[in-house]
Structure 1
Amino acid sequence: MTLAPAPPYRSRHRSIRRGLTAALITAATVLLPVTAAGAAPTGTAVAAASPTLNELAAAKGRYFASATDNPELTDTSYTATLGSEFGQITPGNSMKWDTTEPQRGQFSFAKGDAVVSFAQAHGQDVRGHTLVWHSQLPGWVSALPASEVRAAMESHIAGEAGHYKGRIKAWDVVNEPFNDDGTYRTSPFYNAMGKDYIAYALQAAHAADPGAKLYINDYNTDGLGAKSDAMYNLVRDLKAQGVPIDGVGFQAHLAVQYGFPTQMQQNLQRFADLGVDVAVTELDVRMVLPADATKLAAQSDYYRRVTEACLGVSRCVGITIWDYTDKYSWVPGTFSGQGLACLWDANLQPKPVLDVVRTALGATGSGDTTAPSVPAGLTVTGTSSSSVSLSWTASTDSVGVTGYDIFRGGTQVGSSTGTSFTNSGLSASTSYSFTVRAKDAAGNVSAQSSPVTGATTAGSGGGGSLKVQYKNNDSAAGDNQIKPGLQLVNTGSGAVALSSVKIRYWFSGEAGSSNYSAWCDYAVVGCGSLSQSVSSSGSSTAGADHYLEVGFSSGSLAAGASSGEMQLRFAKSDWSNFSEADDYSRGTNTSFADAPKIGVYVNGTLVWGAAP
């Protein structure tokens, strides 16, 4: 797809972006001494050896690909690797609707043609991206009456897929149809046709380009969960109805600060069992800067595990990285303070993580058969009525430790890329025995550590203190949606039960409908755990006659912890415009900052912020 989970969310907008700050380029250079399987000695750049990534993948019956974009095609140093290392390329933006049909019925294919011409000149296939997506739509599409949307969609598909007929290996026909909780994402297409728009789009694409493979593509579906369940049910139903669908794309935009997707290989396999191909379509693994050995080791581990998951499923046809170099990565421009997500650095030099991928694809020569040292100093650092927190001393390895597996009573209960872990969901007043083992990128594991016993407490305790931070996810103050980014922070000494917490964001409803719809487009805690509703505030304060209230269904927030980002969005039922400039809670900051005009309530009592 592209790069965005939320329709109008630039913070998740997956276009490939040019340029890195000097600080980021410096950080990329510091990366080179990474500890990963097959890495060169400290301070030494790692040269990509023959065979290429695509040749290694082809030996396993797969392809290995990269996304690209038109501005990059003028960079001859960049295109030298793009044209030789990969068997397929995906245009990041040049085949999207706003580029190919900016005015109704007036098509422009010059940018897409340039990408296709480059691929043909280098013997590469092209993945078409994307025909129907809620984002990067020209304004005229959203302005259409519902009765005209299907015809416009089918005309667009016929025009674009017809233009490229026979030159596209596979199309991302429908991009990102689901919210994180598994509900269908609202868009001009869903609003006009319901979920049937997906079948209509696939049928139109097949009619226009019958030789191309047709895919649905989405993010946060890489592992088992509500969103991947929704995708599975959709694909199953489409197959049963005889709708032409050949595959499902799993974007795999990962981050080392979040867990690896749950049972990724098993998830890919269940889709393959429906009789469709699967593909990893937009892989990158970002981190919060600055980089350190732990983050880099986790990144290597994530890349290895994705590669092995694809190789473990016979119908996984290949892997696409979302541009191969940090120089043109979309991450720094989208996730503030994050980056270094790619296999090559900003100077177009291969990073040690590249050798990890090559080894996972079957390259020989790493020769690492030495297990890491056994973790020492395993200690209980904290307990609650439902959790035990652990820490230990880092292991050493001849190449580099990539992480640790944690066991409770002999059963693995989690993994960590650092030297600490909290096991939650335990029973109160109960003793548990824990051990830890280390692992490296080559798959070697240490013996388990000496055990340690931790006992949960009798009660949950208190001491929690909350604040909310905000960032503006939409610079347009006069459009038809409001899109705050929020995160909850516990500054106290004890955990807080999230089910007791509500957050209120005050705004002015202006003219138009008094009925609202609200959505979560992305949340670290999972959109399925959030509730959103809009109510009249009864306040006479300017810019505060309504509020968005956000609640949590379950869970707790540990002392010193943050909920992580929650990307929220709401609109009036008639989609009329707001005038946000004077809204009580709105700010213009695009990085998270404390928000004293957004309220946090615990059991109905205001504990943070000033209500209007």
Structure 2
Amino acid sequence: MTPATAVDAVRRSEAMLTVRSADGSPCADVDVLVEQVRHDFAFGNIGFDFVGLANHERGDSRGNVFGGADPEAAERLEQLWLDVFNTATLPFYWAGFEPVDGQPDTRRLQKAAAWFHDRGVSVKGHPLVWHTLAPDWLREYPDREVEEIVRARIRREVTSFAGLVDTWDAINEVVIMPVFANEDRQNAVTRLCRRIGRIPTIRLAFEEARRANPATTLILNDFNLSTAYECLIEGVLEAGVQVDAIGLQSHMHQGYWGEERTLEVLERFARYGLPLHWTETTLVSGDLMPPEIVDLNDHQADEWPSTADGEERQADDVVRHYRTLLSHPSVQAVTYWGITDRGAWLGAPAGLVRADGSPKPAYDALRGLVKGEWWLAPTRLRTDGEGRVPVRGWAGDYSLSVGDSVASWTLGQDAPTPEVTLA
């Protein structure tokens, strides 16, 4: 089975749609127009670039710790982003979200989340607990108080953003959390994790978030895809912590992993019976990072340009990578880490759009999958004598229209048998 065929087998659904008029009688032998409106699958990207735009800021806005486009640049990126992606990750890195104790950036991020919602985009928060960007002011508190402050931070964010952000990376990169140090100084979250242990720290994050919003989706996320992460997941599940999805990261600055390695990773983590979210992924369109680099953060280049050959390679790699991920039934979401090279992590040319705002071949290739090969174009069909019409397409939201009458419905393997009533 080819990758394209495998994706088709996993992701497409068939249904016999029944169309009725307002009085409940079947719309027999009529022409209908079926259109896909939204994918059920979460095609994600970070939404950092649009925080300033959503807040009507001008010039260099007060960004988050990982940057973001100025509003004018964001305006040029908006349609490119929305043409492909339906899920945005917003930054809740504690050091940037609350640089001063007691002064969180709540309203600004609420406006950004609402901006995406108004455009039909789901929003995920990243992350609630993470050691790397814990605020410096937290170091000054004694250990016992740190735990309660962390708990309060989780409750505050999940409660304040309920209805806007209902999916969270509850805790990030716990495999290395107890041993991580910032500039030779141990941060307060590392201290907490070392004191109470990895699994109790994870329990703390998940249980506080769950109490704050029982409807939220909570993800355990890590870049370490070794057996250490597997052992951690097993311990967490055995301890009875309710994990909704497993997060996997792949910043492929040293080159595309290839189908075999990617599928091997998917199989190892799918055995826990939980949805898999590929939470962070990148592929570069310039020179590859040297293979001997162990920690990607150690590679510091004065310039890292996108090249013509690299852009062609990136486009091919993006198609292969997404086909491989979507061919596995456990994968529920994929988040590409950045729309543009401008302000990209580590300065890498990993965006789908060049720094000048022009799309790379990788952007066109991914859009060709998401809104082309994996999208049901507007299709005219005819109902039978009982008002039924067969539809085969990608799981998601659809509309059906007859003349000026329009109705919405959902196609998917787990969706109820579709039936629409025209007003």
Q: Check 1:236–1:309 CA distance in 2 against 1; reply closer, same or farther (3 A cut).
A: farther
2:394: which partner in 1? none
Quick one: distance in 2 between partners of 1:280 and 1:188?
28
- 1:100 is the counterpart of 2:109: no
Note if contact 1:64-1:318 (Cα within 8 Å) is conserved in structure 2.
yes
Which residue number in structure 2 is paired with residue 114 of structure 1?
Answer: 111
C-alpha distance in 1 between matches for 2:354 and 2:244 = 34
- Return the alpha-carbon distance in structure 1 between the equivalents of residues 124 and 168 of structure 2: 6
1:170 aligns with 2:157: no
SS at the partner of 1:269? helix
Change over 3 Å in CA distance of 1:293–1:78 after alignment to 2: closer
Question: What corresponds to 1:383 in structure 2?
Answer: none
Measure, in 1, the Cα distance between the counterparts of 2:373 and 2:215. Answer: 37
Residues 57 and 261 from structure 1, CA distance in 2 versus in 1: closer, same or farther, beyond 3 angstroms?
farther
Q: Counterpart of 2:228?
A: 230
Q: Which amino acid aligns with 1:216?
A: L
User: Closer, same or farther in 2 for the Cα pair 1:86/1:326, shift >3 Å?
Assistant: same
Contact 1:216 1:248 in 2 (8 A): yes
Within 5 Å, which residues of 2 pair with 1:6-17?
Answer: none
What is the alpha-carbon distance in structure 2 between the residues aligned to residue 57 and residue 351 of structure 1? 24
Aligned-pair distance for 1:266? 2.7
From the two aligned structures, give the one with the greater strand fraction: 1
What letter corresponds to residue 241 of structure 1 in structure 2? A
Counterpart contact for 1:254–1:260, Cα < 8 Å: no
1:89 maps onto 2:88 in alignment: yes
2:55 maps to 1:68: no
Q: Which amino acid aligns with 1:255?
A: H
Task: Say if 2:151 and 2:205, in contact at 8 Å, map to a contact too.
Answer: yes
Q: Counterpart of 1:273? A: 271
Equivalence for 2:202: 198
Q: Which amino acid aligns with 1:194?
A: G
- The structure whose residues are more often helix, as a share, is 2
Give the direction of change, closer, same or farther, for the CA distance of 1:168–1:272 in structure 2 (3 Å limit).
farther
Residue type of the alignment partner of 1:80? Q
CA contact (8 A) 1:277 1:317 kept: yes
Alignment of 1:445-594 (within 5 A): none
Identical residues among aligned pairs (%): 25
Deviations 1:301-334 (A, max 9, x none): 43223212321221211211122122342331xx
Q: Distance in 2 between matches of 1:124 and 1:341?
A: 23
1:216 pairs with one of 210, 214, 220: 220
CA distance in 2, matches of 1:218, 1:351: 29
* SS of match in other structure, 1:168: coil
Within a 5 Å distance, the mapping from 1:272-311 to structure 2 comes to 272-286=270-284, 287-288=286-287, 289-292=304-307, 294-311=309-326
CA RMSD of aligned residues (A): 2.8
Query: Which of 1 and 2 has greater Rg?
Result: 1
Question: Any gaps of 5 or more consecutive residues in structure 2?
Answer: 1-35, 53-68, 182-189, 288-303, 375-423
- Taking structure 1 as reference, are residues 174 and 87 closer, same or farther at Cα in structure 2, changes over 3 Å only? same
How far is 1:172 from its partner? Answer: 0.7
Q: Matches of 2:70 and 2:78 in 1, distance apart?
A: 6
Q: Distance in 1 between matches of 2:192 and 2:260?
A: 31
Equivalent residues of 2:178, 2:193 under 8 A apart: no
| TM-score under structure 1 length normalisation | 0.44
Taking the aligned partners of 1:356 and 1:154, their CA distance within structure 2 comes to 43
* 3-state SS, counterpart of residue 342 of structure 2: helix
CA contact (8 A) 2:279 2:335 kept: yes
Q: How does 1:382-461 map to 2 (within 5 A)?
A: none
Equivalent residue for 1:264?
262
What does the per-residue CA deviation read over 1:180-212, in whole Å, with 9 as the maximum and x for residues that have no partner? xx9864613312322121111111111112111
**Distance (Å, rounded) in 2 between the aligned partners of 1:281 and 1:57:** 20
Query: d(CA) in 2 for partners of 1:137 and 1:294?
Result: 39
Q: Does 1:331 align with 2:310?
A: no
Distance 1:161 1:66, change over 3 A: same
Q: CA deviation at 1:149?
A: 2.2
Structure-2 change in CA distance of 1:323 and 1:183 (3 Å): same
Aligned counterparts of 1:290 and 1:329: Cα–Cα separation in 2: 12
Given residue 66 of structure 1, which amino acid in structure 2 is its aligned partner? N
- Asked if 1 retains the 8 angstrom alpha-carbon contact of 2:339 and 2:351, the reply is yes
SS state of the match for residue 113, structure 1?
helix
Counterpart in 2 of 1:363? 372
Q: Partners in 2 of 1:305 and 1:169 — Cα distance? A: 30
Residue ranges of structure 1 left out of the alignment (5+ in a row)? 1-54, 222-227, 333-338, 366-612
After superposition, the Cα gap between the structure-2 partners of 1:359 and 1:119, relative to the gap in structure 1 and judged at 3 Å, is closer
Deviation at 1:216, TM superposition (A): 1.7
Cα distance between partner residues in 1 of 2:37 and 2:321: 15
Q: Per-residue CA shift, 1:230-266, capped at 9, x if unaligned?
A: 2222222222222121112222211245755862123
- 1:282, 1:321 within 8 Å by CA — same for their partners in 2? yes
How far apart, in 1, do the equivalents of 2:353 and 2:367 lie? 13
1:318 and 2:304 are equivalent in the alignment: no
CA distance in 2, matches of 1:173, 1:79: 28
- Provide the C-alpha distance between the structure 2 equivalents of 1:87 and 1:362, rounded to a whole number of angstroms: 11
Question: Per the alignment, do residues 158 and 362 of structure 1 end up closer, same or farther by CA in structure 2, a change over 3 Å counting?
Answer: closer
User: Which amino acid is 1:348 matched to?
Assistant: G
Aligned residues: 293
Partners of 1:292 and 1:256 in 2: CA distance:
15
Evaluate the alpha carbon distance shift between residue 241 and residue 194 of structure 1 in structure 2; reply closer, same or farther with a 3 A threshold. closer
Paired residue for 1:378? Answer: none
